[in-house]
Chain A
């Protein structure tokens, strides 16, 4: 297994989370006080800030953690190729040079698409080292037949996706049927094989923070490599309180099992300033290893554009126009 020190120095990828047998006592013991959680997340942005070069470096780090995403009914190969081109070169090289970061290889964490776009993305990203992630298992509602979900994963992996973002059946969490949720996610994980699995909780549909915490634990026990807040299609997506609860569960899971599980907030994070708050939350709650794409991703489509404009400002001291940044 990878040690935290190795991760800190970027020397290794984390070992995968093998999961463990469902531990219902642990699930039962989860306590989440909503008001206290909200107080913590409300004060965090006032407690931590980064300025000047530090801000630029953190924003570059944020870019490397983006799952650059397009999940629309009107996605076409042309659209996906343009996105992949942006993924390869997310920041104008003159900006990177001006920041003294020309030597860094800045690329996004992954490109995230529907199954039908995997082949296009794999082709467009060939040689870049950027993984292709596919949403799966009847995304976003997860109301397709279980066997079809497994088949969907297999097909996506076969098509070249190396990361699979599955959605859980919310009904299992809402009815407290943790065994069913565990079995489902276990099966998904097996279907993923070598592909990394991100389990989407759709927290906006879970009702309470306590259930967010419990579902997080169940998914980790079932072998999720990442837990992810939302599909981006729920009425409420990634929020700081929900994220804090999930991070605390990741920490508890590490403390008890030694396994490192990643975190992906998705949906609604579109501003550079928000990205910095999330990075600070990761650093405060989980520490340095979780500031790398191996353990942290933003699920976002428009965040990159705002970060790029901020970086341009960092580099030039002038506020940038959106149309000066190449489209993705």
Chain B
């Protein structure tokens, strides 16, 4: 086609980016890569390898080593050796290295971008303008955190060795999100890239050598899921950070259960994209392009569920179809392409199967006319309308360029539909009415909300979700805490279960003269155990003090139902919650002698100190109720990214046997202070302190359902709580095995778990018995991005 013809057609024509630098780099490595362990390249000990392919062309790019058990052992050993030195280097020393890495990513920006697009299939425009600059930004930002750590994270130290398993959709960016905070805080790392997309991680390994990063600080082990499992299960690793599918996230949760490893999971999503009738429709449609056709829709936080107000839906969808006609699908290295290749044939098949399923379920399919490239893994941008929430395509993450659309009538219905998903990662809200937009943002159950925007990311703002989208945050101050532990944790001793008295058959001197049956406390009312059975509570000599209900699954079910129903507690003001906590303290103080006596009767220990400490603790929690503030992050935007702390939801709390009052109060009070509702299983052997306590709750204006108490076997009830899909979070203090069982069971709905990992803290010590650690577990951070400007 000559200039004269183009002058008439005004087509764009090809605009290929050169792949020469990437090919040169691949050739330099002989087209084959080993593992990067201890600062040097090593062959996989098994000699096993696999091929990595350009999905846009089907061309084999390189052979990659498959790391096996011996290789992971070697990598962990290298990381372990390097960690003390890396930590001793200090904040400034680590900052210099991270700064060097940031600079190197920038210096090789084009090579990274081209290599990423070749390996993954994403358009060069995205790898060049989004992935690579954001990766560099993460290293810069966290160089800053390394520099500031000694002051800003005083009292915290690194976890040790982190195992990081990353997905194929943003290979370099996810590497940066994982490595930067881990390294900044003094951890060393074993990173496993996804087997479809190892190349940019291997290029990064080259840079680590170039930057003079100490050997063993970063180890990169390639391989498929088997390698990932070896990392997840390795005993020498202190922390697993996983980003990937919810399905694999469950396996990782189960694999790490009971290991004592810290865990963060950033999993799938089915994020709503909500358009109100007063939105700027043209801008909302561009937002949708960035939401669901960014990276071929292979984005965990893709705005894949369009919710549009019914009265304007038809007009909006017509505009959307018009916009879809101008999307260009093609080779990843063409600079004028909007949608590249999906990562692999298997992914393409999965997308097409789900689309077919959607059509079977009654959805109407629409795709633009433009032809797809004849070869390669391409999927046309797809709109499915007439989708009902019950359809598979409305519930399942498709991870492809497929948008499903539904309508709503009112703001309340928009929220209900938006939250009608097992996921909770991100959401977009489009309205020119700030009252409406912010009201909706507050009600969405997810970790990130973009107001009149979508898919904005920055190192200064935490990213992550709740529910089946996982837990933990990456980026921002909130993300740092995923890689550190408080120094006082070094003083924790092994958890030794309290001594259990053997029933002597005698009646305790402490028993009430008239039979008083301690009941359970559910929904603000005393409740008899569902099973109609009781447990004996003994004094240290085995004398019977009283009976308590022996709770079972149904009691937990009832308690969780009551807790769910008390949802409005989360919307009360911190001031009100503080007042109620002070009131509880006041009422407890009024009965301090009685509680001290009860504790002494059950435990044989002096009880007054424990009551006094419990009152202090209630004061501390009341004090925090209106002070655990969020933040406004310094993101590069005319606008704000507000990190709002929200209650975790319904928390199941399993208390230690010891310190029956202080243990109970120390766990329940911070949860309640932050707006959570609680189902508490008190000390299994000394439950009367907690059952007496419900009378204090009753007289302190605590709304029914906020605190529920179920007595019985801690580990059996813990298991039911961990299994329960309506419990958002579970805290367990008990044995290593008990904690492991909870962690395994929690894989079901991927609830957050906080266990004592078989250790015992000093509950009397205010440093470790209260404060930020508790508040962090009681809340999650929702980042609400609000660009502004008229």
Query: A residues engaging B (CB < 8 A)?
Result: 10, 31-40, 43, 46-54, 56-58, 60-61, 99-101, 103-104, 208-210, 248, 279, 283-284, 288, 291
Contacts and interface: CB of A to CB of B under 8 A. Distances in A.
Q: Which 7 A-B pairs have the closest CB atoms?
A: A54-B13, A36-B283, A35-B787, A57-B6, A34-B789, A33-B280, A31-B280
A58 B11 CA distance: 9
Contacts of A279: 10
Contacts of A35: 452-453, 637-639, 787-789
A39 B453 contact: yes
A39 B13 contact: no
A65 B281 CA distance: 30
Contacts of B787: 35-36, 39
Contacts of A36: 280, 283-284, 286-287, 452-453, 787
Contact of B281 (A10, A31, A103, A283): A31
Nearest to B279: A31
6 contacts: A38-B789, A47-B336, A53-B1, A57-B10, A99-B3, A288-B10
Interface string B634-657: 000111000000000000000000
A49 B283 contact: no
Interface of B: 1-4, 6-8, 10-15, 125, 128-129, 278-284, 286-287, 290, 326, 335-336, 338, 432, 452-453, 637-639, 787-790
B780 to A, nearest CB: 26
A37 B13 contact: no
A53 B129 CA distance: 25
A48 B14 CA distance: 10
Given A43-B129, A100-B4, A54 B280 contact: no
Nearest to A35: B787
Nearest to A207: B790
B6 A53 contact: yes
Nearest to B11: A54
Contacts of B6: 53-54, 56-58
Given A31-B281, A35-B788, A56 B3 contact: yes
B14 A53 contact: no
Contact of B12 (A34, A40, A48, A248): A48
A273 to B, nearest CB: 14
A50 B336 CA distance: 8
Nearest to A292: B10
A39 B286 contact: yes
Interface centre among A35, A43, A103, A210 (most CB of B within 10 A): A35
Contacts of A58: 6, 10
A39 B639 CA distance: 13
Nearest to A248: B282
Contact of A50 (B8, B12, B637, B788): B12
Nearest to B129: A46
B381 to A, nearest CB: 15
B452 A57 contact: no
Contacts of A209: 790
Nearest to A53: B3
A149 B659 CA distance: 90
A91 to B, nearest CB: 12
A32 to B, nearest CB: 6
Contacts of A47: 125, 336, 338
Nearest to A37: B283
B15 A49 contact: yes
Given A31-B279, A33-B280, A36-B287, A57 B336 contact: no
Contacts of B452: 33, 35-36
A59 to B, nearest CB: 10
Contacts of B290: 39
Given A36-B452, A51-B15, A53-B3, A10 B8 contact: yes
A248 B322 CA distance: 13
Given A35-B453, A61-B7, A100-B4, A52 B789 contact: no
Contacts of A101: 2-4, 7
Contacts of B283: 32-33, 36-37, 40
Given A57-B3, A208-B790, 18 more contacts: A32-B283, A35-B639, A36-B284, A36-B286, A36-B287, A38-B789, A39-B286, A48-B336, A49-B335, A53-B13, A54-B6, A57-B6, A57-B7, A103-B4, A104-B7, A279-B10, A283-B10, A288-B10
Nearest to A36: B283
Contacts of A103: 4
A38 B637 CA distance: 11
A35 B437 CA distance: 15
A226 to B, nearest CB: 20
Contact of A31 (B11, B129, B432): B432
A210 B281 CA distance: 13
A50 B787 CA distance: 32
Contacts of A288: 10
A93 to B, nearest CB: 14
B367 to A, nearest CB: 19
Nearest to B7: A57
A39 B281 CA distance: 15
B326 A284 contact: yes
A46 B281 CA distance: 23
Nearest to B289: A40
A38 B452 CA distance: 12
Most A-side CB within 10 Å, residue of B284, B638, B790: B790
B685 to A, nearest CB: 59
Residue with the greatest number of chain A CB neighbours at <10 A, chosen from B7, B11, B12, B326: B7
A36 B637 CA distance: 12
A291 B8 CA distance: 10
A53 B2 contact: yes
B125 A46 contact: yes
A204 B638 CA distance: 20
Contacts of B14: 51
A34 B13 contact: no
A48 B280 CA distance: 24
A60 B2 CA distance: 13
Contact of B13 (A50, A104, A248): A50
Contacts of A61: 7, 10
B244 to A, nearest CB: 28
A278 B788 CA distance: 25
A27 to B, nearest CB: 15
B296 to A, nearest CB: 15
Contact of A52 (B13, B125, B281, B286): B13
A103 B8 CA distance: 12
A279 B129 CA distance: 21
Contacts of A291: 10
B409 to A, nearest CB: 20
Contacts of B286: 36, 39-40
A107 B10 CA distance: 17
B317 to A, nearest CB: 13
A279 B12 CA distance: 11
Nearest to B637: A35
B282 A100 contact: no
A66 B335 CA distance: 27
Nearest to B282: A248
A111 B452 CA distance: 42
A100 B3 contact: yes
Contacts of A39: 286, 290, 453, 787
A43 B787 CA distance: 16
Contact of B15 (A33, A50, A284): A50
B205 to A, nearest CB: 29
Nearest to B334: A49
Contacts of A38: 789
A253 B653 CA distance: 61
Nearest to A291: B10
Contacts of A248: 282
B240 to A, nearest CB: 35
A252 to B, nearest CB: 8
A49 B789 contact: no
A34 B787 CA distance: 9
Contacts of B1: 53
Nearest to A40: B286
